[in-house]
Amino acid sequence: MLGYFIRRLLAAIPVMLVLALSVFLLLRLSPGDPAVIIAGDMASPEQVASIRTALGLDQPIYTQFFIWMGNMLQGDFGTSLISQTSVMTMITQRLEPTVSLALAAIVFTVLISVPLGVIAAWRQGSWVDNLVMSVSVVGFSVPVFVIGYIVIQVFAIKLGWLPVQGYRSLDNGFGEFASRLVLPALTLSSVYIALIARMTRASMLEVLKEDYIRTARAKGLGERLVLFRHALRNAGVPILTVIGTGFALMVSGVVVTESVFNIPGLGRLIIDAVLARDYPVIQAIILLTAGLYVFINLLIDLSYAITDPRIRY
């Protein structure tokens, strides 16, 4: 297992290098000049040139790349061109809200979708099954921002149970922290609940037809044991894959939810950085996200061995 882990980590290095180079080149080739943006309306060409020099943007692209890579390997992700703040500080500030939101959403997703999928498979063809499948179609079809506005209207504005927007860190107390995560997490999880409920149902249907399930029932095991210990565990590998990649997708794709609920997370940071041509911030976030994908995929692969004893590395 340890050897496999190390091999996978080593294999990630060329992936990250190619990605770093691609991102770097794409950004330099895209239209928009940060120096012009920073200089403002009345800047003379000399002032723009002076800013470009100060930012190191007048260097050849390969020099800029090697300087950036060299700094990054030493843990220095650079400074935002626009706010002059450390990129690492900006990412750290934004990582917590996004990870908190993604974790809360994944908890909602797992708690709701897996039982729903299991019950739908168990009662295949019944009204429960039809209801779960219909609701999952709605979850797929309705855009996240629409769901967001609906839950805000109902739970925050009409009922006044939860806040409309914003994020508070755990430092402000668990109540403050959790209350502001409930609605966005519910909203963000809607599509994943639909996806994973369907996935769980499909996997369970396959497994429930297997001989060992019939054997388990024949020897008198209770239905709950059959479903959750024998069937769900065997159906778990594809479900785990979707949950794992779902988490990575949530971290990198929460921008709509973050905007609707005004959560200052990574999604908003990268959109702002792209619009402002803030190269160091964009590069760092893309690399971070890619690293997260690689890491989560590795964790998913390792988790197979835990859920399915037949898989060994």
List contacts with other proteins (CB under 8 A): 31-33, 35-44, 47-48, 50-55, 79-80, 82-85, 90, 93-94, 119, 122-123, 128, 149, 152, 155-157, 159-166, 168, 173, 175-176, 178-180, 182, 222-224, 259-262, 264, 268-269, 272, 275-277
For other proteins, the closer CB: 90 or 242 = 90
* 206 in Cβ contact with 163 (< 8 Å): no
Q: Give CA–CA dist 58/264, Å, rounded.
A: 32
- CA-to-CA separations, 293 to 132, 250, 297, 300, in angstroms, rounded: 30, 11, 6, 10
For other proteins, the closer CB: 152 or 242 = 152
For other proteins, the closer CB: 12 or 274 = 274
Q: 35 by DSSP, 3-state: which? A: helix
Shortest distance (Å) from residue 138 CB to other proteins: 21
Shortest distance (Å) from residue 164 CB to other proteins: 4
236's enclosing H/E stretch is helix 232-252
For other proteins, the closer CB: 19 or 190 = 190
Q: 79 by DSSP, 3-state: which? A: strand
Shortest distance (Å) from residue 19 CB to other proteins: 24
Shortest distance (Å) from residue 66 CB to other proteins: 22
Q: Could you give phi then psi for residue 300, rounded to 5 degrees?
A: -60, -45
Shortest distance (Å) from residue 41 CB to other proteins: 4
Q: Give CA–CA dist 5/313, Å, rounded.
A: 9
Shortest distance (Å) from residue 163 CB to other proteins: 4
169's enclosing H/E stretch is none
For other proteins, the closer CB: 34 or 246 = 34
Sequence-ordered list of residues with C-beta below 8 angstroms from that of 282, at least 6 positions apart, any chain:
23, 27, 270, 273, 274
For other proteins, the closer CB: 14 or 160 = 160
For other proteins, the closer CB: 79 or 234 = 79
Shortest distance (Å) from residue 10 CB to other proteins: 36
* 311 in Cβ contact with 305 (< 8 Å): yes
Tell me the chain's radius of gyration from C-alpha atoms.
24
